[in-house]
Amino acid sequence: MTDNDTSQKQPQTPPPGRTGGKDPRTYVVITPCRNEEDYMRRTLDSVIAQTEPPTLWVIVDDGSTDGGPEILADYATRYPWIRVITKPDRGNRAVGPGVIEAFYYGYERINPEDYTYSCKLDLDLELPPTYFATLMDRMEADPRLGTCSGKACTRVNGELVSEGRGDEMSCGMSKFQRRTCFENIGGYVREVMWDAIDCHTARYKGWRAASWDEPELRVDNLRPMGTSQGSVYNGRRRHGFGQWFMGSDPLYYTASCILHMFKEKPYILGGLAMWWGYVGSWLRRVPQYDNPELRAFIRAYQRRALIKGKAAAIAEQEAERAPFWNGGKKS
């Protein structure tokens, strides 16, 4: 189904065997996209092939100028649970805040209470067939698990290799969340590093965030990291700005940049670009995320991680914040 008039929330026909909000394993996928013609068929086909497909998939065309809209229209005609929404063109690709703006353009046109879970999904990747079923299984087994994902991977000699996202974070490209958690944390921040801020906020409120590097959860990232806005170096500098915005500890982030200099291509220069993105933002006194308590919470975790390692630091933080978890109930 295609939809150019987006002023009203509209009921959707669920896939065969699905019953909308009555089924506890219902989930809605929201996909912002712009000029993804080269990749979208693989994403579309991999979602259609899921053992438990979405109850509703809202794809927000954010001003595409390629052949993508025609492809999306074809799929929406064949699958009634795919809904395409056309957003007015801003004239350029905007990573971070632009993506989340497009996400909300779709999210605000559904009734979230019809779904137990939601997913923010990019349209330049390929999912294994049990991806969503596995994540729902993990959620059902752990009530405190608020957001989770598989690992973003790239192909090396034909094998999927994780890009190294920490186990304590869910990946932004295929981020799955419990609706009650999403509402409890106030949704996504409309800025770069939104996909880390949500995980830290969830932990602060007593939830858990996680990702796993397992065959049934490895996501094939078809677009190299950082290339969606011109170059890898732009992406690395943007990451550094995002860490500054989020409030990351300078010593922790410097150590992270040094690690990336030798771990990830482009060697040396990539890590330097990350570091300069952070330091340059500091020198220019760029405003940070307006939540001092959360920034302090993030820095405390990072300093602890430098001494004890990430896993131990996260375990301690989760234990400390457990009393603050209320399952997302409104107070």
240 in the same domain as 214: no
Domain assignment present for 249: yes
266 in the same domain as 154: no
Task: Give the per-residue pLDDT at 7.
Answer: 40
CA angle 51/185/8 to nearest 5° reads 65
Domain assignment present for 10: no
- Please say whether the beta carbons of 171 and 106 come within 8 A: no
Quick one: what percent of the chain has pLDDT higher than 90? 83
Which residue type sits at 58? V
DSSP 57-88: EEEEE-S--SSHHHHHHHHHHH-TTEEEEEPP
Domain assignment present for 169: yes
Domain assignment present for 307: no
Domain assignment present for 271: yes
236 SS3 class: helix
Task: Give the per-residue pLDDT at 17.
Answer: 39
- Is a pLDDT exceeding 80 seen at residue 132? yes
| Structure confidence by residue, pLDDT tens digits, 301-312 | 999 999 999 999
Rounded Cα distance between 49 and 45, Å, is: 6
**Domain finish residue from 250, 266, 284:** 284
DSSP 123-183: SSEE--TTHHHHHHHHHHH-TTEEEEEEEEEEEETTEEEE----TTS--TTEEEEEHHHHH
| Structure confidence by residue, pLDDT tens digits, 31-60 | 999 999 999 999 999 999 999 999 999 999
261 in the same domain as 112: no
Helix (H) or strand (E) holding 22: none
Which residue type sits at 99? V
**Domain finish residue from 181, 202, 221:** 221
275 in the same domain as 146: no
Tokens in use for 144?
Answer: 């405190």
183 in the same domain as 125: yes
Tokens in use for 67?
Answer: 């052949």
98 in the same domain as 210: yes
State the total domains in the chain: 2
**Domain finish residue from 284, 299, 316:** 284
CATH of the domain at 72: 3.90.550.10
* More confident site: 133 or 3: 133
- Please say whether the beta carbons of 85 and 1 come within 8 A: no
242 in the same domain as 214: no
Task: Give the per-residue pLDDT at 199.
Answer: 99
69 in the same domain as 49: yes
Range of the domain at 262: 232-284
157 in the same domain as 252: no
| Structure confidence by residue, pLDDT tens digits, 202-230 | 999 999 999 999 999 999 999 865 555 56
Residues whose CB falls within 8 Å of the CB of residue 185, separated by 6 or more in sequence, listed in order: 146, 198, 201, 202, 205, 207
213 in the same domain as 239: no
- Is a pLDDT exceeding 90 seen at residue 168? yes
Query: Comparing C-alpha atoms, which of 211, 221, 232 is closest to residue 155?
Result: 221
- Residue holding tokens 């939830």? 207
Rounded Cα distance between 42 and 257, Å, is: 33
Chain-wide mean pLDDT for the chain? Answer: 92
pTM of the model: 0.91
Domain assignment present for 114: yes
Task: Give the per-residue pLDDT at 8.
Answer: 47
| Structure confidence by residue, pLDDT tens digits, 73-99 | 999 999 999 999 999 877 666 678 999
Query: Comparing C-alpha atoms, which of 181, 179, 124, 121 is closest to residue 150?
Result: 121
